Structure 1
Amino acid sequence: MCLAQPVISVLAYKKPGETELTPAINRAIADLTKRGGGTIKYPAGTFIQGPVEITGSSISIRGAGSGRTVIVRNNQRGYAFFANRKQRVFVRDLTIDCDRSPIEGGIYLGGCTASGADRISIRNADASSFVVENQLFNRGEEKAVSDGNVFRNCQASGQKRYHEAGGKSPFIAGGYAKNTRFEYCTATDCVGDFFDSDNAPGTVFSHCVARNSKGTSPYAGFWSEGEQTDSDHRVTWSNCKASGFRVGFGISERAKATIQSGEAENCVNAVKGSHHAYRILINTFTARNCGAGLEATDTDGVLTFSGPVTLTNVRTEKTRARNSFSNYGGGSSTNEETIIGPGCEFDKDAYISYENSGSRRITVNGTTFRGGNIRYYNGQLTELLVKNSHFVNSGIIGARIKQSRITDGTRFVTTDSSRTAIQLSLDSYNTTVENSTFEGYNKVTNNAKLGTGVRQTSRRQGPR
């Protein structure tokens, strides 16, 4: 028969004359460590406390509710609660105010498994709020396996510093932490990349919100990177939203990123793949009112990728600047295909193949362009295939490409009868058009070769 673990009150361990709870919580943890675990309860109220190490496995810290139990950090450096090489350690239902504490702040899990936090609010941390990784805290270079940790319904706000004297993101899985989940977490008006995974295989951010209300943050709402060659760093952002950042969602180095049902609003780059080594997968994403400040650039865009990407059901709305595919300056070429797929819809230009960077093969399949064009330049190694797509007051404008082909029921519709649908600033016939319809254009093309199945008609009504 399994006996229930003890539940104790932290106040039962407080001695007369003690003004802080630090000694009491340390005594309570020591007691439960000897007893094999249990729960330490905090009542409602405000309590001053220094950094506390949870020294045993199967120990939970529980308050009376976020906002009801408030722990005010004293002026010591360290984390409100940290654990090294433990299992089943949880902190729940309280608020931690770190304004007085120099460096660090909230919760650190080093080399822990099956542990985490739930309904925790951390305010004003100095350099880090929620951290999980395999390196132990205050143990030099000592490391242990970190696996299966979960943070749910947690909030970080007002974090003050980033990568100065050891600063980190408000929410971070790093240093080989495996299978970490952040669910329904929110970061507001912090310094740093709000949600970060750095060489942390299997990290999942689900229904998380990164929100900056003070202009445009120079950081990222969500960021993933990892230069190490010995880890399979996969990250998934599911139903996440970034608002008010230089980069909404960013991927670099060896991160293998998937975005499912995401949104970026009022960001400069909605999604940025910067020198990423692997394919980025994006399914169902909206970039709204993004791109301010990018209007004059050639190699950066609202959606911008240096390497291969697959997009499905991706939309841009009220966009300020172009999108850039296989187009980021300084990137290397790859034979992997970039796919702009079914359900995608863009209201600004899509630039591809600038100086032969990124994918050498680009397929646009089932995509709608409304007011924006496909543009390519100086991509002598690039092959472009456009099929089953719809251009509304839009077209294709390009020069110096290895080969482009427009086919399979692609349709061009305009209300401007003076337009040429496909405009090529060269006289070599490297573009072929076939099995496509052109409605309302003055001319199908100036230099492309017209194959079979090309149909041109006048336009009697507005574009659909």
Structure 2
Amino acid sequence: MFWGSATLALPVVSIVKYKKNGETDYTPAAVRAIADLKRQGGGTLTYPAGQFVQGPVEITGSHISIQGAGMGRTFLIRNSQRGYAFWANRKQRVFIRDLSIDCDKSPIEGGIYFGGCTASGADRVSVQNADASTFVVENQLFNAGNSTAVSDRNVFRNCRASGQKRYHEVGGKSPFIAGGYARNTRFESCTVTDCVGDAFDSDNAPGTVFVRCVARNSKGISPYAGFWSEGEQTDSDHRVTWNACKAVGYRVGFGVSERVKATIQNGEAENCVNAVKGLHYQYRIAITNFTARNCGKGLEATDTDGVLTFSGPVTLTKVRTLNTVARNSFSNYGGGTSTNEETIIGPGCDFDRDAYISYENSGSRRITVDGVTFRGSNIRYYNGQLTELLVKNSQFINGGIVGARIKQSRITAGSRFSTTDSTKTAIQLSLDSYNTTVDNATFEGYNRVSNNAKMGTGVRQTNRRQPR
């Protein structure tokens, strides 16, 4: 846990007591209350159940909390001023809890902004109809030119963003974003529903962690990403972890680019075009226990894009595709660079569509397929004269290998091919040079093992598929 209760011994005051007769807007009352708490070294400003019209309010002291009566019970209705409902610069242990904010009347910005703050956060806060940004944490101070301060160990828990209306126009940001060198930010059990923009974003924010977060678009396919991470800066160690997160209805479910070190664990993408997309990134992506479900619509005719699609090295373990309508794509971006760092499609992976590798000598030059199941699908390679492919301990059910122009490929170590179509060739190579070898593998039900591969020892072929 990054933060907990820090204001138990400090004063607790009500917004109602700071409102003067004749005031219809609670902004002045909030400003007076926060100034009073700052003089006392901190404390809690409470909002009872009900609706409160309010403009942007700066939290000017550390150790100050804003406490509502509950999400859906305390409603802050933004007035027509631009800015954030609550924002703080260079503060410590500032918390906002248990309220809802409607930003529909406010032009630009949204709910909460922490600039250069530490050990601060929000819990059980919902923000709807923000314009250009909703929840933001950065080193850059708000409304202070280019001034910055250290941002570290901030947490957003059980927060919701819905209906954000703008993205990347006049400084628009994602509904949830850690950016600009913010360190060690955590987003836990947060949700985004039907917002414009990438739902959850980390941009040059080292140590960002998303846990049990859900990005959901219910209005067709959003052209944005559910989760995205990028960072071109060379002076930060940008690591991001997505754990038990889910994206539904996005062009990209999970996306990585530039100098990001990304880990995806226990995740899911549903009804997305690309379930995971690694685009011109520098470091290895690691994915474990991930499911892509009903993804790939619109990719059927492309050469280099896929449901799981990577331009560089990746390690996959227990990754599966279900009811997909397009290929998966590894080391497959024409015009990109190549690397000697290995791509590993590893144990427990299960694909119901083809895995394309080695397009135009891009990405990893060495690809290992180890312990993978292909159901009605194939490994396909093309034009990868620099690429080495190793397939071992894998099984192909009504599938096989189709390829041409590869430096070297080997199928070995207990790999098993089985089919119910007795006319099929298991390994079909559209070339006459022996760049593929097969040994220690079993083939059941195929008309022939291969048209051009070189056969080594331990190859076993039966005419009929054996019972399982």
- TM (norm. structure 1) is 0.99
2:415 aligned with 1:410, yes or no?
A: yes
Which residue number in structure 2 is paired with residue 107 of structure 1? 112
Cα distance change of structure 1 residues 73 and 3 upon mapping to structure 2, 3 Å threshold: closer
Confirm or deny that 1:401 pairs with 2:442: no
Determine which of 445, 449, 468 is the counterpart of 1:440.
Answer: 445
User: 2:234 and 2:377 mapped to 1: Cα distance?
Assistant: 39
Structure 2 distance, partners of 1:224, 1:112, is 21
Amino acid at match of 1:280: I
Q: Decide whether the 8 Å contact of 1:304 with 1:328 is kept in 2.
A: no
Q: Paired residue for 1:37, among 31, 34, 42?
A: 42
TM-superposed CA distance for 1:460, in Å, is 4.8
Aligned to 1:329: 334
Kept after mapping to 1: 8 A contact 2:130/2:165? yes
How has the CA–CA distance of structure 1 residues 115 and 199 changed in structure 2, closer, same or farther, with 3 Å as cutoff?
Answer: same
Residue 429 of structure 1 pairs with residue 434 of structure 2: yes
* Secondary structure in 1 matching 2:28: helix
Given candidates 164, 171, 180, the residue that maps to 2:169 is 164
Contact kept in structure 1, 2:418 and 2:465, CA below 8 Å: no
Instruction: Spell out, residue by residue over 1:183-216, the C-alpha distance to the aligned partner (whole angstroms, 9 max, x if none).
Output: 0000000000000000000000000000000000
Q: 1:302 to 1:460 in 2, by over 3 A?
A: closer
Residue of structure 2 in register with 1:266 after alignment:
271
Unpaired runs of 5+ in structure 1?
A: none
- Offset at 1:378? 0.2
Is 1:210 matched with 2:212?
A: no
- The answer to whether the Cα contact below 8 Å between 2:444 and 2:465 also exists between their aligned partners in 1 is no
After superposition, the C-alpha distances for 1:239-258 in whole angstroms (9 at most, x for unaligned) are 00000000000000001100
- Please, which of 330, 343, 346 is the counterpart of residue 351 of structure 2? 346
The equivalences for 1:275-424 within 5 A come to: 275-424=280-429
The amino acid of 2:453's aligned partner reads: A
Letter matched to residue 230 of structure 1: D
CA separation of 1:55 and 1:326: change in aligned 2, threshold 3 A? same
User: How many residue pairs end up in the alignment?
Assistant: 462
Which amino acid in the other structure matches residue 361 of structure 1?
A: R
Following the alignment from structure 1 to structure 2, what is the Cα–Cα distance between the partners of residues 54 and 461?
71
Give the one of 186, 191, 201 matched to 2:191. 186
Q: CA deviation at 1:331?
A: 1.9
Q: Is the 8 A contact 2:444 2:466 kept in 1?
A: no
3-state SS, counterpart of residue 336 of structure 1: coil
How far does residue 4 in structure 1 lie from its aligned partner after superposition? 1.0
Partner Cα separation in structure 2 for residue 105 and residue 74 of structure 1:
11
Please name the residue that 1:58 is paired with.
63
Whole-angstrom CA distance in 1 between matches of 2:464 and 2:203: 53
Give the counterpart letter for 1:29 in structure 2: I
C-alpha separation in 1, matches of 2:271 and 2:364: 28
Q: Secondary structure at the match of 1:27?
A: helix
Q: Post-superposition shift, 1:459?
A: 1.6
Give ranges in structure 2 of 5+ residues lacking alignment: 1-6
Q: Which of the numbers 78, 92, 96 marks the counterpart of 1:91?
A: 96
Q: Please tell me the residue identity of whatever aligns with 2:419.
A: T
Aligned equivalents of 2:167 and 2:335: distance in 1? 27
- For residues 47-90 of structure 1, give each alpha carbon's deviation from its aligned partner in whole angstroms, at most 9, with x where no partner exists: 10000000000000000000100000000010000000000000
The answer as to 2:208 corresponding to 1:197 is no
Distance 1:3 1:378 in 2: 66
Matched, 1:221 2:226: yes
TM-score scaled by structure 2? 0.98
Match status 1:81 vs 2:105: no
1:355-383 Cα deviation digits (max 9, x unpaired): 00100000000000001100000000000
Report the alpha carbon displacement of residue 328 of structure 1 after superposing the two structures with TM: 2.1
How big is the shift at 1:3?
8.0
Quick check: 1:80–1:105 contact (8 Å CA) kept in 2? yes
Aligned to 2:28: 23
Do the aligned residues in 1 keep the contact of 2:77 with 2:102 (CA within 8 Å)? yes
Aligned partner of 1:137 in structure 2 is 142
> Do the aligned residues in 2 keep the contact of 1:391 with 1:413 (CA within 8 Å)?
yes
Between the aligned partners of 1:230 and 1:239, the Cα distance in structure 2 is: 29
Tell me the amino acid that sits aligned with residue 31 of structure 1. Answer: D
Aligned to 2:127: 122
CA distance in 1, matches of 2:341, 2:28: 59
CA distance in 1, matches of 2:333, 2:39: 57
Aligned in 2, Cα 1:261/1:12: closer, same or farther, shift over 3 Å? same
8 Å CA contact 2:256, 2:277 repeated in 1:
yes
Determine the structure 2 residue equivalent to 1:234: 239
Distance of 1:179 and 1:75 partners within structure 2: 34
Cα deviation per residue 1:263-287 (whole Å; 9 max; x = unaligned)?
0000000000000100000000000
Give the 3 Å change call, closer, same or farther, for CA 98–435 of structure 1 in structure 2: same
- AA of the residue aligned to 1:153: N
- CA distance, structure 2, for counterparts of residue 334 and residue 160 of structure 1: 40
One-letter code of the match for 1:171? F
Question: Per-residue deviation at 1:458?
Answer: 1.7
Q: Would the aligned equivalents of 2:380 and 2:403 in 1 still touch at CA under 8 Å?
A: yes
Work out whether residues 42 and 64 of structure 1, in 8 Å CA contact, stay in contact via their aligned partners in 2: yes
**Offset of residue 25 of structure 1:** 0.5
C-alpha distance in 1 between matches for 2:148 and 2:274: 36
Q: Supply the distance in 1 between the matched residues of 2:169 and 2:361 (Cα, whole angstroms).
A: 37
Aligned-pair CA distance for 1:330: 2.9
Identity %: 81
Q: How far apart are residue 329 of structure 1 and its match?
A: 2.9
Contact 2:210 2:243 (8 Å CA) reproduced? yes
Amino acid at match of 1:187: V
